[in-house]
Amino acid sequence: MLVDYHIHALGHDHFRHAEEDTPRFLQTALERGIAEVGFADHDRYHELYDFVFLRSLQPRFPRVKIRIGVEVDFHPGEEARWSRFLAGYPLDYAIGSVHDLGDWTFDHPNNVRGYDRWDPDELYRAYFLTVQAAVRSRLFSLIGHLDLIKVFGHRSRAPAVALAEETLRLLADHDQCIEINTNGWHKPVGEVYPSREILRRCFELNIPITLSSDAHEPGAVGRDVARAAELAREVGYRRIATFEEKKRRLVEL
Ligand SMILES: [Zn+2]
Ligand SMILES: [Zn+2]
């Protein structure tokens, strides 16, 4: 079964909620054989969420299950605020993502010169430490794009899988799900999140996964998700996670 649990349909920078656009996201999912989709807009757009409208689309797309989540821009120290925020919405799941180190949004193309200030291995360590705080918070159904720090192709000297090891063990200890996020294939790094090496280690540690595109437009829904499923099978996975009312269920891949 194919799913896509990371879709930005309602808002992103210049793009604002347009109700008439939302069915186009579902139409692409239908065409690509995606059985479940999760709308997971950034927390800053949540005022725009219309849960009644989103749920009302379900009868028009009986073959695509609609789930509603959120992608939280995680910063250590804000756990209590996020806990209150997440309790305030009828969500099926929440993605915890690290896009910032301090006040540096490292995944934005305008900020790419910030990488010059870092030793590459120290950068990866700092990034993964922040991910660890997200895992420890136990606030999230899944962790987004686990090795996003590579987005512009800045590689660590030590193997990334070694720098991630402590984080991967923590994920396993917390039974914390991650996603295979296909958007990395379309970024400067040209590699899925997480890398095959990290994903293989995740499988060894029995860390659950789900599949996602991180689509920001209707045409990108389900993009390369079948390829991600193939990768998951190659490293040994046979099941993926789905989410409903904050409960996780594993289904056959
Ligand atoms: Zn993200
Ligand atoms: Zn996203």
User: Are the CB atoms for 70 and 91 separated by under 8 Å?
Assistant: yes
DSSP class per residue in 222-234? TTTHHHHHHHHHH
Name beta bridge partners: 70.
Answer: 94
Cα(12) to centroid of ligand 1, in Å? 11
Query: What is the reported pLDDT for 140?
Result: 98
User: Which ligand ends up closest to the CA of 6?
Assistant: 2
Cα(97) to centroid of ligand 1, in Å? 6
Q: According to DSSP H, which parts of the chain are helical? A: 22-31, 51-56, 79-87, 120-136, 160-173, 196-204, 225-235
Per-residue pLDDT of the chain (253 residues), as tens digits, is 999 999 998 765 555 556 678 899 999 999 999 999 999 998 888 777 788 888 999 999 999 999 999 999 999 999 999 999 999 899 999 999 999 999 999 999 999 999 999 999 999 999 999 999 999 999 999 999 999 999 999 999 999 999 999 999 999 999 999 999 999 999 999 999 999 999 999 999 999 999 999 999 999 999 999 999 999 999 999 999 999 999 999 999 9
Provide the 10 A C-beta neighbour count for residue 170. Answer: 18
Query: What is the reported pLDDT for 171?
Result: 98
Cα(234) to centroid of ligand 2, in Å? 25
Cα(71) to centroid of ligand 2, in Å? 6
- Residues 223, 229, 235, 240, CA torsion sign: positive
Query: What is the reported pLDDT for 20?
Result: 72
Query: What is the reported pLDDT for 48?
Result: 75
Segments making up each domain of the chain, as ranges: 3-252
CATH class held by domain 3-252: alpha beta
Name beta bridge partners: 193.
Answer: 181
* Tokens matching residue 72: 């939280």
Separation of alpha carbons 171 and 178, rounded Å: 8
Query: What is the reported pLDDT for 52?
Result: 87
The single-letter DSSP state of residue 116 is: G
User: Are the CB atoms for 4 and 29 separated by under 8 Å?
Assistant: yes
Query: What is the reported pLDDT for 194?
Result: 98
